[in-house]
Amino acid sequence: MERRGEISVSKPDRLIVWIRRDLRVQDNLALWSATQDAGSVIPLFIIDRDFLSLSPFRRHVMLKALAGLRDDLRRIGGVLIIRTGEPAEVLNQLFREARAAGVYLTASNEPAVRRRDDKLRSEVESAGRVWRSFAHNVIFDAGAVLTSAGTPFRVFTPYRRAWLARRDDIAPPLPSLLEMNSPVLDPGELPRVTPSEFPSGARLPEGGEKSAISTLRSFLGERVGSYAERRDVPGADGTSRLSHHLAIGSLGVRTVYKAIRDARRDDGNAGASAVQRLEGIEKFLTQIIWRDFYNQVLSHFPHVVDHAFRKEFDDLPWITDDGPFNAWREGLTGYPVVDAAMRQLRMEGWMHNRGRMIVSGFLTKDLHIDWRMGEKHFMEWLADGDLALNNGGWQWSAGTGTDAQPWHRIFNPVLQGRRFDPGGSYVKKYVPELSRVPARYLHSPWEMPERVQRESGVIIGRQYPAPIVNHPEERARALGKFRHGKKSAMVPAAKKAAMTAVRAGG
Ligand SMILES: Cc1cc2nc3c(=O)[nH]c(=O)nc-3n(C[C@H](O)[C@H](O)[C@H](O)COP(=O)(O)OP(=O)(O)OC[C@H]3O[C@@H](n4cnc5c(N)ncnc54)[C@H](O)[C@@H]3O)c2cc1C
């Protein structure tokens, strides 16, 4: 059996459990261990500066999950305490107020959080209190899946093989918590996200552990059979939509793994649909392994936060101009599938994975803009923003990351649109000004003759921008840049076109 990731051991009486990205009752090792070790438990959530600076979509899902957690804890006798302030002060104050002997928490693998936690831990311990942290946000912690030489994997495929070879070691989720005692303390209040923080017409995601479990069940029960076929189609509801739950821990990843294993076991019968289900289940498991992969990349190679994973690409010349970047952010590049995905992000705080690959490739290889600007923009909007996965995805797309063929993979946004949104439902949903454009022009509307533009109610350059760059030219520049690491000469042209695009769309 896998050893649980415990860092230090002690047996205190009254304990704080500092809830962070583990907003659930089920399979929460820190919470569960505290109830085993102490007579009385104080589950605490801190509204700090980091929380207040999160995207509104992210705060929305976290607050939903916190409200659910508060109710679930109440049902078993616990009380969730909400405090506002900086963690060190809040913890010290609560240690004194509640006479708590220590704090349990789920460890983070984000370098800045780890540094902050290390400092806090030494303060807590030097005051004679207990600090116990558990690695429980991934299935296999960073050191658990290594090459035969004992080094971290740098490429996904062999990592996946090694991960699967250890799958029998995966501990099942913890038994449900049935009872908890909490001392009488002022519970505090949950803040709100005001509607004005969202764009008008925004669609807010579901939140909370209950909705996570029911989404997991309905996905594995009903939709996983078409996952292999539809997971790449942004216009289809083909993926699990579990990412924000996994990012904030309103769903434990071991619960997901157990559900996958159970679903596979249920599929003993033969037949085409059983084969499709198994294929879907395996593909879904592969995504969960990607999640572990990028988490171990972040743990072993913390330089990725600010630098290229592949150090030889750290000095590539990137552009930081606002013009093209703004056109990209607003969904006004003139490439419909790029614009649809960028607008989906603003409306839903989520973007389909194919969209994420297309827009990140477009920003870095067509606009030559620094991947870190795109990564930051995603974090400012995503409900599922997750440093490990977001950084891994951006570096993969930028060609600086773990992709085995990093820089010659350049997506053509027109062909991507035609291939993955052939009926145009995705583009028409998020770029409604193109809804009357005939299918053959939908992914390259600038090719419409003037008459067709008039009939479709969209004049290029007026109701919808002309493309801000010429893809074949930018592709050649990107290849040259990677090959020679030299500055590209296209900047002023892209900037000018982008300004026109923003004016046309505005
Ligand atoms: C540029 C870029 C940025 C990304 N940023 C994030 C991010 O901030 N947060 C995030 O959760 N995902 C991120 N992803 C990965 C992926 O796009 C999302 O996890 C996925 O779209 C979420 O939808 P889903 O839950 O329906 O996915 P499903 O296909 O149902 O996948 C199930 C789960 O597997 C994990 N997963 C799926 N795809 C990947 C992947 N490529 N890498 C690692 N794990 C994966 C996620 O936890 C996801 O919830 C990014 C991908 C790219 C290309």
SS3 34: helix
> Under 8 Å CB-to-CB from 479, ≥6 apart: which residues?
407, 408, 410
Nearest CA to ligand 1 atom 39: 287
**128 and 237 part of one domain:** no
Q: Cα(348) to centroid of ligand 1, in Å?
A: 15
Q: Cα(351) to centroid of ligand 1, in Å?
A: 9
DSSP string, 399-460: TSSS-SSTTT----HHHHHHHHSTT-HHHHHH-GGGTTS-GGGTT-GGGS-HHHHHHHT--B
DSSP summary character for residue 168: G
Length of the chain: 506
> Of 300, 332, 351, which residue is a domain's last?
300
Q: E strands of 136-259, at which residues?
A: none
Sign of the CA dihedral with 177 first, then 178, 183, and 186 last: positive
192 in any annotated domain: no
User: Among candidates 250, 273, 233, 245, which has minimal Cα distance to 416?
Assistant: 233
Inter-residue contact 404 to 155 (CB < 8 Å): yes
**340 and 460 part of one domain:** yes
64 in any annotated domain: yes
What integer pLDDT is reported at residue 487 of this predicted model? 39
Sign of the CA dihedral with 179 first, then 181, 184, and 186 last: negative
> Under 8 Å CB-to-CB from 34, ≥6 apart: which residues?
15, 17, 41, 104
How far is it, in rounded angstroms, from Cα 121 to Cα 133? 10
**336 and 212 part of one domain:** no
201 in any annotated domain: no
Nearest CA to ligand 1 atom 32: 287
Among 157, 211, 241, 243, which is best to mutate for testing ligand 1, by the most ligand atoms less than 8 A from CB?
A: 243
What integer pLDDT is reported at residue 356 of this predicted model? 98
305 in any annotated domain: no
* Single-letter residue type at 372: R
- Cα 211 to chain centroid distance, Å, stands at 18
- Cα 231 to chain centroid distance, Å, stands at 16
Q: Which atom of ligand 1 is nearest to the CA of 242?
A: 25
**146 and 99 part of one domain:** no
Binning the chain into helix, strand and coil, the percentages to the nearest 5 are 55, 5, 40
Q: Per-residue pLDDT tens for 469-488? A: 999 999 999 998 888 763 34
pTM: predicted TM-score of the whole model, two decimal places: 0.93
> Of 257, 272, 300, which residue is a domain's last?
300
Inter-residue contact 408 to 414 (CB < 8 Å): no
**262 and 322 part of one domain:** no
464 in any annotated domain: yes
Q: Per-residue pLDDT tens for 48-106? A: 999 999 999 999 999 999 999 999 999 999 999 999 999 999 999 999 999 999 999 99
**390 and 280 part of one domain:** no
Sign of the CA dihedral with 204 first, then 375, 402, and 488 last: positive
Q: What is the CATH number of the domain that holds 82?
A: 3.40.50.620
- E strand or H helix at 132: strand 130-135
480 in any annotated domain: yes
How far is it, in rounded angstroms, from Cα 231 to Cα 285? 13
User: CB under 6 Å to ligand 1: residues?
Assistant: 231, 239-243, 246-247, 287-288, 290-291, 294, 353, 356-357, 360, 378, 382, 384-386, 389-390, 393-394, 397
**361 and 239 part of one domain:** no
Nearest CA to ligand 1 atom 16: 353
**118 and 218 part of one domain:** no
**240 and 335 part of one domain:** no
Regions of the chain short of the pLDDT cut 50: 1-10, 486-493, 495-496, 498-506
237 in any annotated domain: yes
Q: What is the CATH number of the domain that holds 220?
A: 1.25.40.80
**65 and 102 part of one domain:** yes
Q: What is the dihedral of CA 135, 213, 60, 231, to 10 degrees?
A: 90
**149 and 117 part of one domain:** no
190 in any annotated domain: no
> Of 80, 114, 137, which residue is a domain's last?
137
Count of structural domains within the chain: 3
Among 248, 287, 379, which is best to mutate for testing ligand 1, by the most ligand atoms less than 8 A from CB?
A: 287
SS3 506: coil
Domain span at 486: 311-505
What integer pLDDT is reported at residue 499 of this predicted model? 43
Among 342, 353, 382, which is best to mutate for testing ligand 1, by the most ligand atoms less than 8 A from CB?
A: 353
**133 and 144 part of one domain:** no
> Under 8 Å CB-to-CB from 318, ≥6 apart: which residues?
364, 368, 369, 370, 371
Nearest CA to ligand 1 atom 11: 243
